[in-house]
Chains A and B, each alone.
Chain A
Amino acid sequence: MPIYLDHNAGAPLRAEAAAAISQLLTKARGNPSSVHRSGQRSRRMLEAARAQVAAAVGAEARQMVFTSGGTESNNLAIFGAITATSRRRKIISSEIEHSSILAPLAELERRGFEVVRVAPDSDGRIDPTRVLAALDSDTALITLGLANSEVGTIQDLAPLASVCGATGVLFHIDAVQAVGRIPVDVAALVCDLMTLSGHKLGAPAGVGALYVRDAARIAPIAFGGPHEGGMRAGTPNLLGAVAFGAATEAAMNSMRDESDRIGSLARSLLRRLRESIPGLRLNGPLSGRLPNTLNLTFPGVLGESMLIALDLEGVEVSMGSACAAGAVEPSHVLRAMGRSIADARSSLRISLGWNNTADEIDAVAETIPAVWRRVADAEPLSEVSVR
């Protein structure tokens, strides 16, 4: 079995989620909207799952809209917000967001909206005062990630909490990478909207949620039925929701211990890699980061080569984002943090998760330096073209 170190892209299915699904696969039937008792049973299961997911971020079940995943939640938050506040024409975000934020913003820009993308510092932190400085009476939405998927930087969003309700602007937080790894609370953050994703927590891909504060008004983006409080038409993905609920509950129950354990594995890996790879650089801050995420610049090599060489050795990591054909592109997050194209092309993301063991980390601490030496020797960055 390969050693899987790409949990920020998607975590393996948790046993609790698998158990919930397999029970449902054989026993359940009935549309949760149906009147008959099968439908009522489905509805109960759906609502129980909703409560499990809501509890993870201190929300009420009624405030959670199930979606097909983080991307749909982000689209619903963004397009739903600007549709509901139709006169306002400005959105504030940052340069380091996930593509499911950046692509909708680019589309809105194309439609004539003004988009302000705040630049991060060299550790990937967004200065909240710069967000506030861009805020005006034309602003419809602030949308920011709580924890960055590529470098793991956690943002300090507390200074934004007071402003949002007062000025009439909607505040959306993409918490996909944060939930289940660090404490997240909608009341403490005082946000209007929050995105959650199932498969980052150990549910299957294809299910997510959007938290919508009671007072927040957004418009639906898909029409067809009264499902999900009118926010998201379409028969709910009961199987996905139930797995999402089970995975979330499992993640929350073990979060404190798991985060400590994963954090110490990650720190140990970083320490050992630094000992054997001179010039290795950690991207992102030393503290105020997700415990599981290491974004590393490997001196003198292409990340693409490292990624493939490691895969052939049974170690699965990632780099930036993959294009449709499966080739890797350098991380826009690292570029925004001021790294050169060459540095961005030399960087890999290693993200640990609930099922990684100390033995795996021991093995990887040997494999990665060996692969790095081979790649640096065979295909030095100084002899290839980079752009």
Chain B
Amino acid sequence: MKPRVLVAMSGGVDSSVAAALLREDGYDVVGVAMRLAPEPSAPASTAPVARRRGTCCSHDDFEDARRVAERMDFPFYVIDLRADFAARVVDNFVAEYLGGRTPNPCVMCNREIKFDRLWSRARALNADYVATGHYARIEQGADARFHLLRAADDSKDQSYFLFTLGQDELSRTIFPLGAMTKTEVRARARALGLATADKPESQEICFVPDGDYASFVERRSDPSQLRPGSIIDSEGKRLADHAGVHRFTVGQRRGMGIASGERLYVREIRAKSGEIVAGPREELDSSGLIANRVSLVDDSIASGGELSVEVKIRYRHRALPATMRVDSARRAEIHFAALGPAVTPGQACVFYRGEEVLGGGFIERAITAQLAT
């Protein structure tokens, strides 16, 4: 028997195929579905209504994962990591929004839950590896160092969300789908007779299924933590009032509540004063950024001073050519080769060199935007 691998299964097609492929390869697969999201509490006065499926606890998705495990004949368990997820992902998500930043909880979930918390569970269960259905590749070089690479399917590449993985994490992680396209994954699922073969993609953040982040933050905060204030222009002129800085994201246009001749965008969020600075699109352009909590896939690359890289400042953005320098406090200063788009504090910025992920960090602020002429 090959080594034991703990496969994180969401009930979607990707992790289903990941688990099935490992099982076909002869690994000792143990499937787990993680309960992560805090559950909305039903009011006690509601009459119980029989519901066969679809409640939080009897999640359809878990049942789909269970069916895959039965079909492929490996053990499967639902594990409860809600407390860890709340403490390590959800609280951070709320605090970031309250602080005027726009968090990326998927990055935090990977760092804190899938490749840290789940790894301790894997060792408890005598597993040697953790596997997920992420689209990214791990390769070991001739020097035995591990490299994190973009997925073969560029349209599905998820390496952006995985930049926090270092050598330790990569050495014990398997991404079975890294070399496959989504079409191939679905075809494989069908060939294996997996119930999840034609499930639609999940899009929203898993713990905010309705996509209403502002209401979620409000439900999970004390009213005194919310920062209402004014929307102002770059000269400081008050344009409107707003209900809280957590409702804004740098670069957003909608929801400003301003009837103005020109299109206004959120340029800056000042969480302390509650001010939202709005401006026309050209005021958003940036020439670089400062990132903090920088981690590198291989720390040895940081010794060389200035690096030429390509930087992705949002998942769906193209990587921008840039130079970067990391200091000893794990902060990075990044200068784009050409003027860049709006930089959103809180989002992840990920450093690439060609196919390879070198590392990344969390955006602290933009470097002074050069005003377009």
Where the two chains meet, the residues of A that have a C-beta atom closer than 8 Å to any C-beta of B are: 107, 110, 301, 304-305, 308-309, 311-312, 323-328, 374-375, 377-379, 383-387
Contacts and interface: CB of A to CB of B under 8 A. Distances in A.
Given A325-B58, A326-B62, A326-B66, A378 B124 contact: yes
30 contacts: A107-B48, A110-B44, A110-B47, A301-B124, A305-B124, A309-B125, A309-B126, A311-B77, A312-B30, A312-B125, A312-B126, A325-B33, A325-B58, A325-B62, A325-B78, A326-B62, A326-B66, A327-B35, A327-B79, A328-B80, A379-B120, A379-B123, A379-B124, A384-B117, A384-B120, A385-B83, A385-B86, A385-B88, A387-B83, A387-B86
Interface in B266-293: none
Contacts of B66: 326
A327 B83 contact: no
Q: For the side of the interface on B, what is the size category?
A: 20 to 34
Contact of A385 (B55, B58, B75, B87): B87
Contacts of B58: 323-325
A257 B26 CA distance: 47
B121 A312 contact: no
* Of listed A312, A326, A375, residue having the most chain B CB within 10 A: A326
The 6 closest A-B pairs by CB, nearest first: A324-B58, A378-B123, A385-B83, A378-B124, A379-B124, A327-B78
B2 to A, nearest CB: 15
B82 interface: yes
Contact of A326 (B45, B77, B82, B123): B77
A278 B84 CA distance: 27
Nearest to A329: B80
B121 A305 contact: yes
Contacts of B57: 323-325, 327
Contacts of A377: 123
Nearest to B48: A107
B78 to A, nearest CB: 4
A387 B59 CA distance: 21
B342 to A, nearest CB: 35
Interface in B41-96: 44-45, 47-48, 55, 57-59, 62-63, 66, 75, 77-80, 82-84, 86-88
B83 A374 contact: no
Nearest to B87: A385
Interface in B104-150: 117, 120-121, 123-126
Nearest to B30: A312
Contacts of A385: 83-84, 86-88
